[in-house]
Amino acid sequence: MYQGRIHTEIRDTLVSNGEKVIEIYKSTESDQLLPFLEAFTGTAQTRLQLYNQEGIPLLGEEMEVDRNYIESVLSGGREDYIYAGMNHLPIVGIPFEDSGESYALFLTVDRNKVEVEIMNSIHLMYVIILFLGSLLIIIAARYVVKPLIRITDATKKMSQGHFNIELPTKRKDEIGVLSASFNEMARELGKLDQMRQEFVANVSHEIQSPLTSISGFSKALRQKQMSEEKRNQYLTIIEQESERLSRLGRNLLRLSHLQHDQHQHVITSFRLDEQLRDVVIGLEPQWSTKEITFDIKLEPLKVEADKDQLKQVWTNIINNSIKFTPRQGEIRIAAKVKNTVFTVSITDSGEGIPEEERKDIFKPFHKVDKSRDPSIKGNGLGLSIVQQIIHLHHGTIEVGEGPEGGATFTVTIPMEFQGKKAGMI
């Protein structure tokens, strides 16, 4: 680009100089053409060569010009070109006549030392840029590829079940964001894997405990010398443990269906306040034996939802509150609506749930043994089922501390079910 601009300037200068030389020669009325041109050649680094009609050079200056160009200029044309033999310098040809003879005057320039130095500097710059560019590309490639290799290796480790992986995330670019996301994914997968292991261990424990009791008391029943009262006591224990296993199986199956959205939602319109009262009445045997009182404040609420699923929600939560409310305690139930969302809060007067335990109580088989009565039986699946049902209704459930202690469960659900799909009623 630089040479192109320079050559254009040189051509214009050569043409202007040639025309001036011819004009000066004609204005001096000199009849000695060759000595006149010899005097001009070399002036301002301009070299001249004159060709006669036979194409013979008349000046002592060495300048190789193609025969075709000479003939073209002698016939009255004007030529300019770059001749490789002249170090890629421009050459221009100008026709003129003197004493009835036609001549071809060709002009070129000497190589400018300053230009040579500039071009050498440019060439050197090319080499430096090429070297530094290649070096920077290699560094940049390693800068980009190295963390990708680390991520690839970490992915392979994760596929083998190793989730305790932490990639460096000091970078602020896309690679840093990817590494941070990968670390978050590894942590979540690690939690899921731990939950899976705990789930398997809890299921095994919950199944093994009643099976051990059933097996032990069944062997004891084989003894011939046993009172009828003792035999009935063992049979009652076996029956209770069998029912416990049956409940565990049903709850596991229900939880699995809810988690995989395999339940067929039956959407109906019903009064939520009436459903809550019916649940309390249905649990009367449990709370009446503990002389628990209920404080119920319910607004008339008509909702669209899966009636059976929501009944399961209130039954599990209220039954849970009854279990952990002391004798002659109190349970408060309130329901209200705001805009298109209804909120139900259930508060017991028990010992409450420690804050550090609240985020885990919805996990399968989780039990708050430290703050709750360990003699109270349960498999720890009730609240997990509750959470899944509420999520399927696009709602939320939160647990906190009641105004006077105890635990408060707050359920918020849209008034109309938003998850209607083809095939659902």
Q: 124 φ, ψ to 5°?
A: -65, -40
Selection from 70, 86, 65 nearest residue 7 by Cα: 86
pLDDT of residue 86: 47
Query: Is the domain of 307 the same as that of 189?
Result: no
Please state, for a pLDDT cut of 90, what percent of the chain lies above it.
Answer: 7
pLDDT of residue 417: 62
* 85 band by pLDDT with thresholds 50, 70 and 90: very low
- Where is the domain boundary, 204, 222, 252? 252
Q: For residue 283, what are its two tokens?
A: 């649990």
Higher pLDDT residue, 123 or 210? 123
Quick: pLDDT tens for 263-276.
566 788 889 899 99
pLDDT of residue 128: 94
pLDDT of residue 132: 93
Do the beta carbons of residue 330 and residue 407 sit within 8 Å?
A: no
pLDDT of residue 70: 84
pLDDT of residue 130: 93
Mean per-residue pLDDT over the chain, rounded? 79
Quick: pLDDT tens for 119-141.
788 889 999 999 999 999 988 88
CA distance 364 to 411: 19
Query: Is the domain of 213 the same as that of 106?
Result: no
pLDDT of residue 125: 92
pLDDT of residue 92: 86
Quick: pLDDT tens for 2-37.
667 777 777 888 888 888 888 777 777 666 777 777
* 421 band by pLDDT with thresholds 50, 70 and 90: very low
Q: Is the pLDDT of residue 295 over 60?
A: yes
Higher pLDDT residue, 373 or 359? 359
pLDDT of residue 127: 93
- Where is the domain boundary, 57, 91, 111? 111
Selection from 80, 126, 90 nearest residue 3 by Cα: 90
User: Taking residues 151-169, what's their average pLDDT?
Assistant: 83
Q: Is the pLDDT of residue 111 over 80?
A: no
* 114 band by pLDDT with thresholds 50, 70 and 90: low
Residues in CB range of 196: below 8 A, 6 or more apart: none
Query: Is the domain of 382 the same as that of 314?
Result: yes
Number of residues assigned to the chain? 425
User: Taking residues 244-251, what's their average pLDDT?
Assistant: 72
Query: Is the domain of 330 the same as that of 242?
Result: no
Quick: pLDDT tens for 301-356.
888 888 888 888 898 889 888 888 888 899 999 998 888 888 999 998 888 887 77
pLDDT of residue 251: 65
Selection from 276, 332, 305 nearest residue 420 by Cα: 305
Please state, for a pLDDT cut of 70, what percent of the chain lies above it.
Answer: 83
CA distance 188 to 182: 10
CA distance 340 to 413: 9
Higher pLDDT residue, 116 or 237? 237
- Where is the domain boundary, 70, 88, 111? 111
Selection from 343, 384, 386, 392 nearest residue 366 by Cα: 384
Query: 112-126, 368-382, 409-423 — which is least confidently predicted?
Result: 368-382
pLDDT of residue 373: 47
Query: Is the domain of 300 the same as that of 395?
Result: yes
Cross-strand pairs, 99:
none
Do the beta carbons of residue 110 and residue 47 sit within 8 Å?
A: yes
Query: Is the domain of 243 the same as that of 334?
Result: no
Query: Is the domain of 248 the same as that of 379?
Result: no
Q: What is the CATH number of the domain that holds 224?
A: 1.10.287.130
Query: Is the domain of 51 the same as that of 25?
Result: yes
Do the beta carbons of residue 112 and residue 88 sit within 8 Å?
A: no
Domain housing 248:
174-252
As to burial, measured by CB atoms within 10 angstroms (0-12 exposed, 13-18 middle, 19+ buried), residue 313 is buried
Q: How close are the terminal C-alpha atoms of the chain, in Å?
A: 76
Considering 228-232, 252-256, 281-285, the range whose residues carry the highest mean pLDDT is 281-285
Do the beta carbons of residue 331 and residue 322 sit within 8 Å?
A: yes
Query: Is the domain of 245 the same as that of 306?
Result: no
**Can you give the three-state secondary structure of the chain, one letter per residue?**
CHHHHHHHHHHHHHHHHHHHHHHHHHHHCCCCHHHHHHHHCCHHHEEEEEECCCCCECCCCCCCCCHHHHHHHHCCCCEEEEEHHHCCEEEEEEEEEECCEEEEEEEEECCCHHHHHHHHHHHHHHHHHHHHHHHHHHHHHHHHHHHHHHHHHHHHHHHCCCCCCCCCCCCCCHHHHHHHHHHHHHHHHHHHHHHHHHHHHHHHHHHHHHHHHHHHHHHHCCCCCCCHHHHHHHHHHHHHHHHHHHHHHHHHHHHHHHHCCCCCCCEEEEEHHHHHHHHHHHCHHHHHHCCCEEEEEECCCEEEEEHHHHHHHHHHHHHHHHHHCCCCCEEEEEEEEECCEEEEEEEECCCCCCHHHCCCCCCCCCCCCCCCCCCCCCCCCHHHHHHHHHHHCCCEEEEEECECECEEEEEEEECECCCCCCCCC
Query: Is the domain of 82 the same as that of 185?
Result: no
Q: How many domains does the chain divide into?
A: 3
Q: What is the CATH number of the domain that holds 11?
A: 3.30.450.20
pLDDT of residue 420: 43
Dihedral over Cα of 312, 315, 320, 321: its sign = positive
Query: Is the domain of 7 the same as that of 106?
Result: yes
